[in-house]
Amino acid sequence: MPTAVVLGGGVSGLAAAYYLHRLSTKFSKIILLEHQTRLGGWLHTTRYPDGAKFEHGPRSFRPAGHSGINTIDLVEELGLSDQVLAMPMSHPTTKFRYIYVSGRCHALPSGLGGVLRTLSPFSKPWVFSLASEPFRARSSEEDESVDSFIRRRLGPEIAEYAIDPMCRGIYAGNSRELSVRSCFPPLYKCESEDGSIVRGMLWPSKGRQRPERRSKLSKRARDERWAAWSLRDGTSQLTDTLVTQLSEDPRVEVRVGSPCEAVTPTDGKLQVVTQGETIQADHVFSSLYAAALSSLLPDQLVELKAFLSSIPAVTVAVVNLEYSGHVLPAQGFGHLLPSSEDGKMLGVVYDSCAFPEHDRQDKPSTRLTVMMGGAWIRELVSEVGSDLNENALTSLAVKGVQDQLGIVDSPSRSITKVQRNCIPQYLVGHWQKLAGIHSLTEKTNLPLSYIGSSYQGASVNDCIYNAKLEVERVLSS
Ligand SMILES: Cc1cc2nc3c(=O)[nH]c(=O)nc-3n(C[C@H](O)[C@H](O)[C@H](O)COP(=O)(O)OP(=O)(O)OC[C@H]3O[C@@H](n4cnc5c(N)ncnc54)[C@H](O)[C@@H]3O)c2cc1C
């Protein structure tokens, strides 16, 4: 009875199990092991009876690119098309993104008008940097930091005030350490294949043509010019629906509260140990954070374990706040703080502006999320103590909102979560770690697949798409 074991019940593991169930009958048994009693991993929505929804992980998805379109196709396949909350390009959340510098929020340039004007804290319009970018020499390095890449191609101000905060917003990471090749592959390819970011964006080379749209929903996303989307019942609706679909297939067994304790190669198979039971797996799809997988492998795989454990991850404090009434001084996605302004405070998302449908229904309110820590966790610890006490984190977040947005009221509700090792960091040279992992796996003939956010993209779209590609590769081999 060919058995596939999926480790981890976050969106990557659930997507892998879903595609195994949908695409083939090659495995007569598909066992998913999840350590926690809750499925969904970082996709975690708290829902209140009054209709309020708070996201403790991702809050929106982008509809663009191969992986973005794939998620939309999946949403249609799962019967969730009528549950989508779409945010069009014209929405204030898309148009207005702020950075908090020298005591106030500044709108980042948006659209043609934005790049033609001088907007503080920049000393000149972006158009000058964009116009000279195609004439900058291309690098001969195989990888470099995001900061050095942007400084070289677009200048120090864009690196410091736009890209540094963006890396903090997406990866909770430091642009001086993150790899441009692994964190922003399209930018890296624009330079290496087309010689310039601007040229590559406007006239992409043949290998990077736009993906095809097949589902009705993905065509709708294009026609209505979606910039982002979520689901009516929050992001957990996606993982909850995957779980429901899986429960209808007798081949699939989803076990919660079942930590995988060891993965050992024997006779071309993998023995997976969970709660005193040993499962003989013909193939294992691991969606665990790389260092967690490393700790489950035997010592004889010393080199592989070393590569896996060399991929770090950061811890983020996520504080959801709700205020009575409409208290935001401006509409927009939110604001980010450059690391030069305040390391520990990454930014504030204006959730109510993006999806007011997730506000409580009984009276007017404003939901915000403050994110803190990440690569600057030491600064956060020195402020609130090494136990990252939730009350101290909440107070710090409330003070940040007061100082940065002038909202002086006390929040009517708050939820604080310390999300440990939640965002893997693709540091300069990450691609070499991946090459090492894959070549050792091939050399030792391990029936093991690496999916999840530790490897090739941390967005939910990337997690789902990479799980699908890996399942297809294994099924066709
Ligand atoms: C605060 C935050 C905000 C984010 N915002 C966005 C966003 O807006 N948009 C976006 O696209 N992405 C966002 N992301 C990124 C995205 O949410 C994650 O990269 C993605 O959810 C990772 O999913 P995963 O399944 O790979 O990993 P996980 O969600 O970590 O799932 C792994 C699962 O494995 C389980 N596990 C661990 N050890 C074991 C074991 N030994 N045995 C069995 N199970 C085990 C864990 O309990 C977990 O459920 C955000 C992430 C965070 C943390």
pLDDT tens string 137-191: 999 899 999 999 999 999 999 999 999 999 999 999 999 999 999 999 999 999 9
Q: Is 421 left (phi over 0), alpha (psi -120 to 50) or beta?
A: left
Classified by CATH at the fold level, domain 45-55+312-424 comes out as: Polyamine Oxidase; Chain A, domain 2 (3.90.660)
Instruction: Decide whether any atom of ligand 1 lies within 6 Å of the 59 Cβ.
Output: yes
Instruction: Decide whether any atom of ligand 1 lies within 6 Å of the 315 Cβ.
Output: no
Instruction: Decide whether any atom of ligand 1 lies within 6 Å of the 7 Cβ.
Output: yes
Classified by CATH at the fold level, domain 3-44+235-311+426-476 comes out as: FAD/NAD(P)-binding domain (3.50.50)
Q: Where are the beta strands (DSSP E) in 97-163?
A: 97-101, 104-107
- 418 CA from centroid of ligand 1 (Å): 13
CA angle 469, 473, 477 (to 5 degrees): 175
d(CA 427, CA 146): 10
pLDDT at 207 over 70: no
Classified by CATH at the fold level, domain 92-208 comes out as: protoporphyrinogen ix oxidase, domain 3 (1.10.3110)
Note the pLDDT tens digit of each residue in 102-142.
999 999 998 888 899 999 999 999 999 999 999 999 998 99
Instruction: Decide whether any atom of ligand 1 lies within 6 Å of the 422 Cβ.
Output: yes
Instruction: Decide whether any atom of ligand 1 lies within 6 Å of the 41 Cβ.
Output: yes
List the chain domain ranges: 3-44+235-311+426-476, 45-55+312-424, 92-208
Q: Which residue reads 């829902």 in tokens?
A: 47
- Any residues with CB less than 8 A from the CB of 299 and at least 6 apart, and which? 305
Note the pLDDT tens digit of each residue in 347-356.
999 999 999 9
Which tokens sit at 94?
């898309």
pLDDT score at 203: 84
- 190 CA from centroid of ligand 1 (Å): 29
